[in-house]
């Protein structure tokens, strides 16, 4: 189901880019839904627009709550700028589900899902305390997390997602 929309006259057109992004999100939602009990996902309309922090997809992955920011690209890399990272992390900090019986709080895990067109997917769990931009390259095993500190040191992070059945 990793088919692409019909190639337009202008691949840089806003309409085509939006279509490619929508199809990536739709593909992931369908993978969660088809995985069976314990797995489900919904797209959040208008994600990435306005001032409200909200991810592209909210999903359950065998009991884990996920907030997924989806990026699709034809390039060999994608960058999530500091503002986008902050909005994803803010959503996860504020979107907390509390069990009425035991009082346990369940927080969403912040996930960056990158679709490299005709090359596959990469999934990165963003550290909750991260401050900075993230660059994901198709040919690198780990993403580059660019720390927004005076030293601007690069930090390597492992791609621990997906662990579950939904996206295998």
pLDDT in tens, 123-136: 999 999 998 999 99
Inter-residue contact 161 to 125 (CB < 8 Å): yes
pLDDT value of residue 45: 80
- pTM higher than 0.85: no
Among the listed residues 80, 55, 93, 94, the one whose alpha carbon sits nearest the alpha carbon of residue 132: 80
Place of tokens 């990536």: 24
Q: Which helix (H) or strand (E) holds 83?
A: helix 82-94
User: Do 129 and 92 meet the contact criterion of CB atoms below 8 Å apart?
Assistant: no
pLDDT of residue 66: 97
Give domain limits for the chain: 14-156
Marked catalytic residue, from 12, 13, 47, 149:
47
Question: Looking up tokens 């927080």, which residue turns up?
Answer: 107
Q: Which residues contact 153 (CB under 8 A, 6 or more apart)?
A: 147
Omega within 30 of 0 (cis) for the link into 162: yes
Between CA 78 and CA 138 the distance in angstroms is: 9
| HEC sequence for 22-43 | HHHHHHHHHHHHHCCCCEEEEE
Enumerate residue ranges in the chain where pLDDT < 70.
Answer: 1-14, 16-19, 47-50, 142-168
Active site residue 13: no
Q: Do 77 and 137 touch, CB atoms closer than 8 A? A: yes
Burial class (CB in 10 A: 0-12, 13-18, 19+), 67: buried
**What is the CATH class of 14-156?**
alpha beta
């Amino acid at each position: 189901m990793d088919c692409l929309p019909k190639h337009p006259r202008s691949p840089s057109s806003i309409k085509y880019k939006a279509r490619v992004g929508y199809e990536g999100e739709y593909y992931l939602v369908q993978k969660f839904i088809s995985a069976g009990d314990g797995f489900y996902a919904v797209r959040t309309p208008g994600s990435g627009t306005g001032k409200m922090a909200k991810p592209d997809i909210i999903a359950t992955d065998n009991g884990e709550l996920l907030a997924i920011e989806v990026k699709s690209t034809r390039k060999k890399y994608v960058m999530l700028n500091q503002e986008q990272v902050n909005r994803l992390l803010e959503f996860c900090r504020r979107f907390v589900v509390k069990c009425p019986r035991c009082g346990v709080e369940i927080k969403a895990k912040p996930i960056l899902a990158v679709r490299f067109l005709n090359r596959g997917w990469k999934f990165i769990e963003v550290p909750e305390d991260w401050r900075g931009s993230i660059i994901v390259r198709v040919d690198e095993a780990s993403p580059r997390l660019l720390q927004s500190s005076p030293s601007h040191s690069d930090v390597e992070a492992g791609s621990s997602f997906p662990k579950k059945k939904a996206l295998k």
